[in-house]
Amino acid sequence: MIAFLQILSTFSCLILSPPDTLRIISVPLDHREPRGKQITISFTHFQPYQDQKETILLLDDPLDNYFQQSMDLRDLADEFNLVQIKGRHQSEVLLTTIHSSGQTDWSKAYQLLNVDQHARDLEKVRKALPGDRPVHLVGFSGAAAYLHYYLSRFPEKVSSLISFNPLLFDLQKNLNFRYPAPCPEAQANRFWFAYLWHAHAESLCPDTGGDGDDFPFYAFLQWGFLVPGLWENREEDVALKVRLFEHSYDLLANSPSEQPPSIAAAWMKQESQPIWKELEQASFSVHGVDYDKGRLYEGKVLIVGAVHDKLLSRYCYDVLAEFYPQSSLMLLRDGHALGKLRATGLQRELIRSFLLEDNQEKIGVYQSLREAGLLYDKRDRYNL
């Protein structure tokens, strides 16, 4: 239990804390109508922008923020311009437009908050930065999935990508990888999803403790109040529902009807039911990553995947790496939230060594991860 609570204290997503310089930029309410109504989105520089530095872009994701707190990346600001994009889901004008009839227009909510709109916002921010230069992208989970989509649309604008556990459920569905078996206590609700998010050992729900690294679901229910955001009332969070719709669509669309959905997929569809109903009544296009575009990308990609990930099969990371000609895959003995990695504090050195192509520092990071018992050798696949 103590180890689990220590991991809880490190839960975080790849954003800057605290922000330093807030900037505002106008973007189209709907990028399909670039000359139409405009909204404002915000982004922050941790330090004043310096032309001689390369730039790292970070992007907020509503689902990531539901389960995570902030990771302090301020040390990277000495060598990089760090730019954090807050996202259009915070725009009051956009939310007013969605509720203009007095009720939530869920079709409009998806059309204005989908992954394509966010990716085009990201490109607007990138172009607004001095020099209009390619940037580095760093993302975790849902935000990383956004960045893979952005890379498929604007590959020439990306210097490199570091992707931590990208939540790309369509890979899992299309490759027919199995879902984790549920505990007897599991139900289609946010607590089970949160457990899958934060669990970081091989076994899901042991009756007795093993190596002390796992945490049974029934105990997670008892201590779940420690997870940031888990007990908050988010029923009216439109952006979160759109994100859950996109993830559940990736898992469930065009799936065999006789195949029951996973409990996580069932919860995501349940939470985004109003958008699913709109889709059934008047079918609309749903955006997804064009993975084949990755084969044409000439920059470097680092994919960091957790072998004990309970949300996405770790084999998805193997397949994803194959789409990029200059990709590196690092597998860690960790869960989706990467709590063990974050507890070591090595994520900063990992990011820095990759972006600067510092081979000596890479060797040091690998050695430190190995000494911490986190580095997973694919040749050792039967000894997780």
Amino acid at 119: A
- pLDDT score at 208: 45
Is the previous residue joined to 256 through a cis bond, with omega within 30 degrees of 0?
A: no
pLDDT of residue 211 exceeding 60: no
Higher pLDDT, 260 or 344: 344
DSSP 13: B
pLDDT of residue 1 exceeding 50: no
- pLDDT score at 19: 46
Q: Tell me the percentage of the chain whose pLDDT exceeds 70.
A: 85
Own/partner contacts of 171-179, CB < 8 Å, gap of 24 or more, are 171/291, 171/312, 171/316, 171/319, 171/320, 172/251, 172/312, 172/313, 172/316, 173/250, 173/251, 173/252, 173/255, 175/313, 175/315, 175/316, 175/319, 177/313, 177/315, 177/316, 178/313, 179/262, 179/264, 179/265
pLDDT digits (tens, 9 = 90+) for 363-376: 999 999 999 999 99
pLDDT of residue 14 exceeding 80: no
| Distance in angstroms (rounded) separating the CA atoms of residues 121 and 265 | 28
- pLDDT score at 12: 43
| Cβ atoms of 182 and 220 closer than 8 Å | no
| Cβ atoms of 185 and 217 closer than 8 Å | yes
- For tokens 């990609």, what's the residue? 301
| Cβ atoms of 100 and 43 closer than 8 Å | no
Which whole number is the average pLDDT over 21-47?
93
pLDDT digits (tens, 9 = 90+) for 223-249: 777 766 666 656 568 999 999 999 999
Which whole number is the average pLDDT over 281-302?
93
- pLDDT score at 257: 63
| Cβ atoms of 354 and 360 closer than 8 Å | no
pLDDT of residue 214 exceeding 60: no
381 band by pLDDT with thresholds 50, 70 and 90: low
pLDDT of residue 384 exceeding 60: no
pLDDT of residue 8 exceeding 50: no
382 band by pLDDT with thresholds 50, 70 and 90: very low
pTM of the predicted model as reported, rounded to 2 decimal places: 0.90
Which whole number is the average pLDDT over 329-340?
94
pLDDT of residue 74 exceeding 80: no
378 band by pLDDT with thresholds 50, 70 and 90: low
Amino acid at 61: D
Q: What H or E segment, with its residue span, contains residue 204? A: none
- pLDDT score at 136: 97
pLDDT of residue 13 exceeding 50: no
| Cβ atoms of 272 and 237 closer than 8 Å | no
> Which residues, including other chains, have CB under 8 Å from residue 346's CB and lie 6 or more apart?
365, 368, 369, 372
- pLDDT score at 338: 92
- Beta bridge mates, 21: 45
pLDDT of residue 185 exceeding 90: no
- pLDDT score at 379: 60
Helix, strand or coil for residue 81?
A: strand
Q: Where are the alpha helices (DSSP H) in 9-87?
A: 62-67
- pLDDT score at 216: 73
Say how many residues make up the chain. Answer: 384
- Rounded to the nearest integer, the mean pLDDT of the chain is 86
| Cβ atoms of 306 and 357 closer than 8 Å | no
pLDDT of residue 42 exceeding 80: yes
DSSP 238: H
DSSP 97: H
pLDDT digits (tens, 9 = 90+) for 90-127: 899 999 999 999 999 999 999 999 999 999 999 999 99
How many Cβ atoms are within 10 Å of 356's Cβ, its own excluded? 13
Across 78-87, 256-265, 335-344, least confident range:
256-265
